[in-house]
Amino acid sequence: MKHLAITAAVLALATPAFAEYPERAIEVTIPAPAGGGTDTSARKLATLLEEELGTSIAILNVAGGGGSVGVTQFMLQKPTGYSLLATWNSPITTVPQVQQTAYQPDSFTPIASTSETAYTLCVNPDFPADTGEAFLEELAANPGKYTYGNDGIGGTMQLAAERIFQSRGIEAVAIPFGGAGETLQNFLGGHVDIYGGSISPVLPYTETGEAKCLLVTSAAPVKALPQAAGLESLGLGDEETLLWRMVLGPAGMDADVVATLSAALEKTVNDPAYVEFLATKGEIPNVVTGAALTARVQGEYDALAKVAKALGLSQ
Amino acid sequence: MGLISEILGGVFAAGPIVAMIGASILGVFIGALPGLNPVMAIALLLPLTYSMEPLVALGMVAGIYNGSMYGGAIPAILLRIPGTPAAIATTFDGYPMAQKGEAARALKIACWSSAIGGVASAIALMTIGPILARATLYFGPAEYFWIAMFGMASIGVMVGSDAVKGLMAAALGLLLGTVGLDQLSGVARFTFGEVWLLSGLDLIVILVGLYALPPVISLAEASDIKGLSASDLKLEAVKVPWSEVRGLVPTWLRSSLIGIGVGILPGAGGNIAAFLSYNAAKSASDQPESFGTGNPQGVAAAECGNNSDNAASMIPALTLGIPGNVIAALVLGALLIHGLQPGPQLFHQNPGLVGGFMVQMLLTSLLILAVGGAAATRIFAQVQRLPGVLLVPMILVLMAVGVYVINGRVIDLWVMFAAGAAGYILEKINVPLAPIVLGLILGPMAEQSVRRALLISRGDPTELFTRPLSAVIALATLGLVLWPILKGLKARRRPQAQ
Amino acid sequence: MTERRQDILLGGVFAAVGSTAALMAADYPGASGIYPTALGCVVAGLGALVAIRAVLRGADGPRALVENAPRAALTLGLAALYLVLVPVLGFYLASALVVVVVPLCLGFRRPLYSLVSTGVFIGIVWLVFSVVLEKPLPAPVWLSY
């Protein structure tokens, strides 16, 4: 009897939740440490989203395992629309290749992608190459001579670089660091030859002339790095790998709630304040929702599976 | 001149001043409650300031950061529970002082030492920061390995009466530090198929269990149902005589330099600054055997050391755009959200803001004297007037909530409980706990740097010793290990000669 | 238990933990296995040393592990029970319960004092974590939907 009463009370509470979503605070899990690129992007977006949805948003950082710890913990949440995941692509499309994760790309309800940027490869000004093409030729001519810093073994950055290297038969020594900041420090100190990582940390050093960025991992060149070649111009357009961010929900979410959320995200991501904020980090907004987002995740997952396999990193 | 008035005008506006004072008080409380830590508080509160001017956000960061490093000393002294990992070294002499009825004196020394360390560090940030920042770039993986070894050498002061057991505890700490996903190969080590273990054992979770549960059990065993009366507490304002203050000056100088040196290296971390300072103070002392029994020098060294790394840890972040720890990363994140680009140009493009933050780091260090000395210390002392049996469950609840909110998972509570139960037994059979924590902090740094160095040198180990800078730090480590031994030999020889 | 027996047991436990770790780590590929294997051996070796030392010249005097065994066991047991109850009753109900029950079990007999201080304390925790910091804490099972 008591049990019935509780069930009825829960139903009474739960039913209008779908009618007037959202009616209480939303909890967003970020599978990365506070202060990093994914964290700042998500927190800034959350402040705008709070206004748009008229509810408060609590943020929980669960770092570790290249993102898999936070994502796995999130997977157990109920698909009520009050638990969301704000992540970058690596934990979803890269990590399952190199770790045995409990989730696959299709274990979530895709809501919307938010922004994207390329990775870049930079060298010091004395490096004997000044263009993307010459850079790859120099690497190909000296197998095993150059070291490049990256964001961690089996991370998207490493796979993005190896994807390019493999198609040109290049062998470079990967040195994994804890993140782009640490890579930058070791690059500036001359401990590694090549900086590999996101654009934003190294950008100021291209202006002071301490870094020469010769390649980006996107098909098109990046405006902020005029010297860096896009992959299209090198005939490697198919090998594009981006760093992009998205918001996901647990599998089995209500379609109306997903629609409310993706509409709200589309609006806030394209808010001039957010676009301007993204620009300071070298990122551009790119909202993809629904089936197109599912296809994007799956396509990247399949392409990186091949690279991971060739590198012997596959699980 | 225009710049200085711009900076001061920005800092002494109503918003930033309120932020600094409020955050300093808050910081002391956050530091004092085991489980709550400045990283979490700053991460939670920064977003609330995104719509305000940047100096409000930065003033808040400065206040919480500096306040919490002192706050950690309060329970370390009164209850032998370090509020933050950096306050472990404070328990070594702070708690024995409190047991001798000198709690007020210990708190006063901790307060002044924290403030002095913070001021010294802020001055370093303002003056020699940019030059030092460039120098840190010469530290590659090989050098970081030796810095970790340098830190491990301070285990000498923690092993206590039984060296074998101390080393065993340190080795256990290093082993616990390998749990999780190996950053260099992606291999999951000692995770037993559990996903939450991939990120390794959380330092705060282990620390809270190891250090807070044993005192709680002891409190329950003592079963005090009356509580201390005000006169028993002896917390009336004590005067620390001028002669004693003079004796602390060399310790303050030494600890400040150590804290600044450790703080400025990205990734080296402030938790070891207190250990290194404590170790240095003991080595330099005429009566090293009095350390650990309530020597005020020990409290001064630990507290000055853990505050003097604060502002210094901002140096690489503000001058190079490289965050040395999570708090620095949060500051850079906040700057980005306010539309500023961290990097070598940051100061030139925003002198008022960066300069203002430096001044705030200085002012909040001084604020410790006001809020820490008077208000906060007195409030916390009242806690001790509660009957011990009431404190037992309350501390337990605070431990649980603090640990739970770190990662939002119940399993962490059990990790804490297991660490605490083990810590209780280990301590009773003469196994010191501090080496376990030190191993947990330094182990990952040592392993990752040595393996990175070997990857870069293509497996040639001589690289670890022959880069000029790595050789220097290696020799310094050797010196640190040999110094107390040589001193001991000398002291033994002297009485024989007589 | 005598000091000697305690140390033999302690050394034995560390030797077992160390050698288990070393055996597990030996399977990890390449450089990721060498370091933990070596550490496991060091832990095991030092543990064995402690045990052997105790066998050879351990003191036979008793060394108390607890000052008051019933109270220590009671506290540990209640603490474990509390952790079990947190996900069931929710954080606040379980916490309020433990703050009232533990002093009672330890011989505190001033119910009014106990209830008032519990109320004030839980109120402060609620204010800090749920109101100011907006941190989600475990909810009672019957409310988690």
- Which site among A3, A7, A10 would you substitute to test the C interface, given the most C Cβ atoms closer than 10 Å to its Cβ? A10
Nearest to B339 among A35, A184, A277 (CB): A277
Evaluate if residue B300 carries a pLDDT over 50.
yes
Peptide bond into B38 cis (omega under 30): no
Between residues 66 and 105 of chain B, which touch chain A (CB distance below 8 Å)?
Answer: none
**Mean of the per-residue pLDDT values for chain B?**
84
Evaluate if residue C44 carries a pLDDT over 90.
yes
pLDDT in tens, B199-243: 888 888 898 888 889 888 988 888 776 665 544 555 556 677 888
Q: Do A78 and C145 touch (CB under 8 A)?
A: yes
Evaluate if residue A2 carries a pLDDT over 60.
no
Q: Do B390 and C53 touch (CB under 8 A)?
A: no
Find the mean pLDDT for residues A127-139: 92
pLDDT in tens, B260-269: 988 888 766 6
How far is Cα C8 from Cα C20, in angstroms, rounded to an integer?
18
Q: Which of B229-243, B372-386, C4-18 has the lowest mean pLDDT?
A: B229-243
Q: What is the pLDDT of residue B374?
A: 66
- Check which CATH number belongs to the domain holding A161 and give it: 3.40.190.10
Q: Where are the domains of chain C?
A: 3-57, 69-143
Same domain, A279 and A305: yes
Find the mean pLDDT for residues B71-94: 88
CB contact, 8 Å: C31 with chain A?
no
How far is Cα B369 from Cα B365, in angstroms, rounded to an integer?
8
Structural domains in chain A (count): 2
Evaluate if residue A69 carries a pLDDT over 70.
yes
Evaluate if residue A30 carries a pLDDT over 50.
yes
Would strands A108-123 and A212-216 be described as parallel, antiparallel, or unpaired? Answer: antiparallel
Q: Which of B22-31, B383-392, B485-494, C53-62 has the lowest mean pLDDT?
A: B485-494
Q: Are B13 and B19 in contact (CB under 8 A)?
A: no
Q: Is residue A247 part of a domain?
A: yes
Q: Are B102 and B372 in contact (CB under 8 A)?
A: no
Greater confidence, A144 or B160? Answer: A144
| C-alpha torsion sign, points B346, B348, B352, B358 | positive
Find the mean pLDDT for residues B41-59: 81
Intra-chain end-to-end CA distance of chain B, in Å: 64
Evaluate if residue C74 carries a pLDDT over 70.
yes
Give residue A272's pLDDT band: very low, low, confident or very high (50, 70, 90): very high
Find the mean pLDDT for residues A181-191: 89
Give residue B159's pLDDT band: very low, low, confident or very high (50, 70, 90): low
Q: What is the pLDDT of residue B197?
A: 86
Domain span at residue A45 reads: 24-117+242-311
Same domain, A285 and A299: yes
List b or e across B12-50, with b for residues whose CB sees 16 or more CB atoms inside 10 angstroms: ebeebbebbbebbbbbbbbbbbbbbbbbbbbbbbbbebb
Evaluate if residue B9 carries a pLDDT over 90.
no
Same domain, A44 and A97: yes
Find the mean pLDDT for residues A142-166: 88
Evaluate if residue A253 carries a pLDDT over 50.
yes
CB contact, 8 Å: B468 with chain A?
no
pLDDT in tens, B111-157: 999 999 999 999 999 888 878 778 888 888 888 888 888 888 777 66
Same domain, A103 and A162: no
Find the mean pLDDT for residues A246-250: 94
pLDDT in tens, B437-458: 888 888 888 898 899 999 898 8
Please name the chains neighbouring B, where neighbouring means 3+ C-beta pairs under 8 angstroms: A, C
Find the mean pLDDT for residues B426-442: 87
Find the mean pLDDT for residues B32-45: 79
Q: What is the pLDDT of residue B232?
A: 53
Evaluate if residue A10 carries a pLDDT over 50.
no
Please name the residues in contact with B283: beta carbons below 8 A apart, sequence gap of 6 or more.
Answer: B480, B483, B484, B487
Find the mean pLDDT for residues B389-405: 89
Q: What is the pLDDT of residue B179?
A: 92
Nearest to A27 among C136, C142, C143 (CB): C136
Helix (H) / strand (E) containing A59:
strand A57-61
Give residue B326's pLDDT band: very low, low, confident or very high (50, 70, 90): confident
Give residue C67's pLDDT band: very low, low, confident or very high (50, 70, 90): confident
Q: Is residue A182 part of a domain?
A: yes
Would strands A108-123 and A194-198 be described as parallel, antiparallel, or unpaired? Answer: antiparallel
Give A30 to chain C, closest Cα distance, Å.
14
Q: Where are the domains of chain B?
A: 2-497
**What is residue B189's three-state secondary structure?**
strand
Q: Which of A192, A212, A239 is the last residue of a domain?
A: A239
Same domain, A85 and A99: yes
Q: What is the pLDDT of residue A14?
A: 45
Nearest to B44 among C17, C67, C133 (CB): C133
Give residue A5's pLDDT band: very low, low, confident or very high (50, 70, 90): very low
pLDDT in tens, A87-119: 999 999 988 888 778 888 888 999 999 999 999
Q: Which of A239, A260, A293 is the last residue of a domain?
A: A239
Q: Do B139 and A181 touch (CB under 8 A)?
A: no
Same domain, A170 and A248: no
- Check which CATH number belongs to the domain holding A292 and give it: 3.40.190.150
CB contact, 8 Å: B48 with chain A?
no
Please name the residues in contact with B222: beta carbons below 8 A apart, sequence gap of 6 or more.
Answer: B388, C67
Evaluate if residue B276 carries a pLDDT over 60.
yes
Same domain, A218 and A126: yes
Q: What is the pLDDT of residue B231?
A: 47
